[in-house]
Structure 1
Amino acid sequence: MSTSSNTGLIANWEIRHSRSRNLPYYFNSVTGESSWEPPFGSDTTKLQHYMATQYSGSAQSGNNNTGGGQSIGADASSTSSSGVPTKVRASHLLIKHRDSRRPSSWKESNITRTKDESRAILLAHEARIRSGQITLGQLASTESDCSSARKGGDLGAFGRGEMQKEFEDAAFSLKVGEISSIVETGSGLHLIERTA
């Protein structure tokens, strides 16, 4: 299959920007198909380089939203009358494995590692983050298997019922600035940082 010389995507696919999620996604201009994950057959090395230079440059750790346009987490600190948050904002680092719901990512079209191997990778990342060597956002931009890597792992603000239950429960239990231990969902294994 031929790929685009600059993006590494296969023929008829292009990168577009979702206004609702404020994230890039993949779109087939012939079939109209869209996907958060790169199409099978793309040159993932070339695509990873392209995405890192085009989309990860503005990803910052912490609460800074340096991208142009709206702040996707502006209302992230909404709370109910009882003081319980109704929305939180979080970033995450996702490591998928072969039993994940969708075992592919912008980095790899076919993920074959086991859950135990993914856990070992994430534990090593967690150790670097907790030692202060690197922030979760910095590491997510190059290592996360989620398309949010392009924004340093930032998922924006979300309320109850918008994420997988295990992820949601962990995110809502964190204090601002706190990082979870490993959280397992159908998508894979996550480290979650509540940012607002």
Structure 2
Amino acid sequence: MTTGLPAGWEVRHSNSKNLPYYFNPGSKESRWEPPQDTDSEALKHYMGQYHTANLRSDLDVQQKLEGKIRCAHLLVKHAGSRRPSSWREAEITRSKDGAMNIIRNYESKIKSGETSLGDLAVTESDCSSARKRGDLGFFGKGDMQTEFEQASFGLKPGEVSPIVETQSGLHIIERLE
């Protein structure tokens, strides 16, 4: 069965996010969104056939998630970030101080109750998780950068972190589960 993807592209499965993604072994490019020139009808059929969730018993799910937590985050990148680009901007040129001012503004809006982290993440986060309200899904120890992991595991469900700095940029993290 054809995937509907352009030549050189294949569907792979992310272990950390438990989601399919698109990969081109020739160029080493990976992306969450289908590449340009994809036959979306063929891809939809292929994904329905081969990448739908398997129904598992609650016990299997519980065992698989043991020791894991679920968080959402809002990421603001800067020119010194590990990958200074995002779905919002091809090249991020803002300074670290500029990014800090932006995320402090978001932090005050979240703390005041003016908006939620999820609502802000959809339009403002530099992470591809923005389309899922910043939800990163379940992850365990060793799956994330150290600073992010320590902050996440230090939260109780429903709590929001102060600003956390990693190689990826500046984050505000909300523990969901």
Aligned partner of 1:97 in structure 2 is 78
Counterparts in 2 of 1:133 and 1:115: CA distance versus 1, 3 Å: same
In 1: Cα distance, 2:136 partner to 2:28 partner: 23
- Which of 143, 148, 152 is 1:167 aligned to? 148
Q: Partner of 2:99 in structure 1?
A: 118
Contact 2:14 2:21 (C-alpha < 8 Å) held by counterparts = no
Where structure 1 has 5 or more consecutive residues not aligned to the other structure, the ranges are 1-10, 43-67, 80-85
Partner residue in 2 for 1:141: 122
Secondary structure at the aligned position of 1:174 is classed as: coil
> Corresponding residue for 1:60?
none
**What is the TM-score of this pair, normalised by structure 1?**
0.64
Equivalent residues, number: 149
Q: 1:17 to 1:138 in 2, by over 3 A?
A: farther
Which residue identity is paired with 1:119? M
Give the TM-score of the pair, scaled to structure 2.
0.70
User: For residues 44-94 of structure 1, what are the alpha-carbon distances to aligned partners after superposition, in whole Å with 9 as ceiling and x for unaligned?
Assistant: xxxxxxxxxxxxxxxxxxxxxxxx8579xx649966xxxxxx221100000
Compare CA radii of gyration and give the structure with the larger one. Answer: 2
Unaligned runs of 5+ in 2: 1-5, 37-51, 56-60
Cα pair 1:26 1:36 within 8 Å, conserved: yes
The alpha carbon displacement at 1:24 in A equals 6.7
Counterpart CA distance in 2 for 1:89 and 1:150 is 16
> Out of 22, 30, 34, which is 2:29 matched to?
34
Residues 14-53 of structure 1 aligned to structure 2 (within 5 Å): 18=13, 20=15, 21-23=17-19, 25=21, 27-28=23-24, 31=26, 33-36=28-31
Between 11-20 and 139-148, report the one with greater CA deviation. 11-20
The 2-side partners of 1:173 and 1:145 are apart by 23
Residues 100 and 157 from structure 1, CA distance in 2 versus in 1: closer, same or farther, beyond 3 angstroms?
A: same
147 and 130 in structure 1: CA distance in 2 versus 1, 3 angstrom threshold: same
1:157 to 126, 133, 138: 138
Whether contact under 8 Å (1:95, 1:122) holds in the other structure is yes
C-alpha root-mean-square deviation of aligned residues, in Å?
3.2
Alpha carbons 1:37, 1:104 under 8 Å: kept: no
The structure with the greater share of residues assigned to helix is: 2
